[in-house]
Structure 1
């Protein structure tokens, strides 16, 4: 059975599961719950880590140097048991290393470390990936946290996403779970998107470029969550009809393009990590306390 590690300070408490190094709860000192509760009627995820791919592969089959490997949407890390590598009152680090089981579908030696830490009202979630093999290692990586929508104490208020760069990034629609090669006009106006369930009837909103390195998810006249992204150039927003969450998903890598190559190295924004090298990806979110 997975184990739960709790980190906390005077303002925030975070519960993280060893299964997928996935957050299970974010609680402020007033008892408010800011993370989606994983209601199985809609979606059991809460904050999965996406590795070694983001999104889908054609027919759930990934090509690596021309050889097919079965790979489910968003990769396998979210379904693996991680080991607790470090823990203190305000920090925990879980790690996943390559095994015979992972090499059967992803033939590389890696170490994936996911660290959650607190500093006042700010949570930082950082991932470091090390290539422990002797050849270059391609992969995609992303975060997929689901936050309460409406935000605590903000029922009935209009919710918006505000891009800190005031951008109007084009959307790249999904076609059978893969990225269409078309682009559609931005739903943002001067960096502002008014949220509505209707936006997500055709799946997630994916913005491969132009969303910038930060945003605010807020209720007008109510609470706000401020995000900053590190080495995460792609953004997706997602919910399911009838559910009460909004996923704010910063990525480095996307689904394969519909009608495009099935090769991992050819997927948009794939990272190719040299032997012995490291890559870091992180986001911070600051809570109103």
Structure 2
């Protein structure tokens, strides 16, 4: 059975489950929980870590060196039990390693460590991927945290996402969960996107390039969450229309393209890690103090 670890300081209290190393709650000192609660009526996820792929594969089948493997959307890490590797009052680190079970669907000797750490009102979630094998290892890595919409204290206010770089990145639509090979005009206006549920009638808003390394998700004139991304160049925003949450998803790697390459190493923005090396990916979210 999954267990959980709580870390906290004077600003924040965070609970993390051993199942998927997934954050379960993010509570500020005023008692407000800013994270989606996983209500199955909409979506059971809360803050899954996506590995070894982000998004879908054609027919839920992944090709590695021409060989087919069964792989569900967003990979298997979010459904696996992690081991608590280290914990302190303000930090916890969980780890998942390759096993006979994972090698049957992903033939690599990986290590995946997920660390949650607090610094004042800021939470950093970092994933470190290691290649313990003797051959290059392709993978995708992403984060999928869901925060309340409306934000606590922001009820009745318009909500906006504002990119730090003021850009208007092109959107790449999804077709049955796979990325279209066309790009649509940006819904951002000088870095600003006014949120509305009808934006998500055709699935997530995916911005493969140009969204930058930081943004703010806020209720206008009210509370705000500020994000910074490290080695995560792809961005998606997602909710189910009418659901009371917004996912702010920084990725390295995306879904396969519709009609595109089926090999894992040829998927858009795939990382190929040399034998014996590791790579770190992280995001920081700063809550109202």
Whether the TM-score (by the shorter chain) exceeds 0.5 is yes
Q: What's the CA shift for 1:13?
A: 0.1
CA–CA separation in structure 2 for the residues paired with 1:184 and 1:10: 44
CA–CA separation in structure 1 for the residues paired with 2:86 and 2:222: 36
Match of 1:123 in 2: 123
Match of 1:38 in 2: 38
Q: What's the CA shift for 1:24?
A: 0.3
CA–CA separation in structure 2 for the residues paired with 1:223 and 1:261: 42
1:183 aligned onto 2:183: yes
Counterpart mapping for 1:220-235 below 5 A: 220-235=220-235
Say which SS state the counterpart of residue 258 (structure 2) adopts: coil
Gaps of 5+ in 2: none
Match of 1:101 in 2: 101
Post-superposition Cα deviations, 1:26-59, rounded to whole Å, max 9, x if no partner, equal 0000000100000000000000000000000000
Say which SS state the counterpart of residue 171 (structure 1) adopts: coil
Post-superposition Cα deviations, 1:242-278, rounded to whole Å, max 9, x if no partner, equal 2100000000000000001110001000000000000
Moved over 4 A (4+): none
Q: What's the CA shift for 1:157?
A: 0.2
CA–CA separation in structure 1 for the residues paired with 2:91 and 2:176: 39
CA–CA separation in structure 2 for the residues paired with 1:242 and 1:216: 21
Match of 1:166 in 2: 166
Post-superposition Cα deviations, 1:75-133, rounded to whole Å, max 9, x if no partner, equal 00000000000000000000000000000000000110000000000000000000000
Q: What's the CA shift for 1:241?
A: 1.6
Say which SS state the counterpart of residue 113 (structure 1) adopts: strand
Say which SS state the counterpart of residue 102 (structure 2) adopts: helix
Match of 1:213 in 2: 213
Q: What's the CA shift for 1:135?
A: 0.2
Match of 1:90 in 2: 90
Match of 1:22 in 2: 22
Gaps of 5+ in 1: none
Say which SS state the counterpart of residue 265 (structure 1) adopts: helix
1:277 aligned onto 2:277: yes
Say which SS state the counterpart of residue 78 (structure 1) adopts: helix
Counterpart mapping for 1:123-142 below 5 A: 123-142=123-142
1:73 aligned onto 2:87: no
Match of 1:267 in 2: 267
CA–CA separation in structure 1 for the residues paired with 2:44 and 2:276: 35
CA–CA separation in structure 1 for the residues paired with 2:154 and 2:281: 31
CA–CA separation in structure 2 for the residues paired with 1:246 and 1:42: 12
CA–CA separation in structure 1 for the residues paired with 2:274 and 2:170: 32
Post-superposition Cα deviations, 1:130-149, rounded to whole Å, max 9, x if no partner, equal 00000000000000000000
CA–CA separation in structure 2 for the residues paired with 1:268 and 1:255: 7
How many residues end up aligned between the 2 structures?
289
CA–CA separation in structure 2 for the residues paired with 1:261 and 1:228: 31
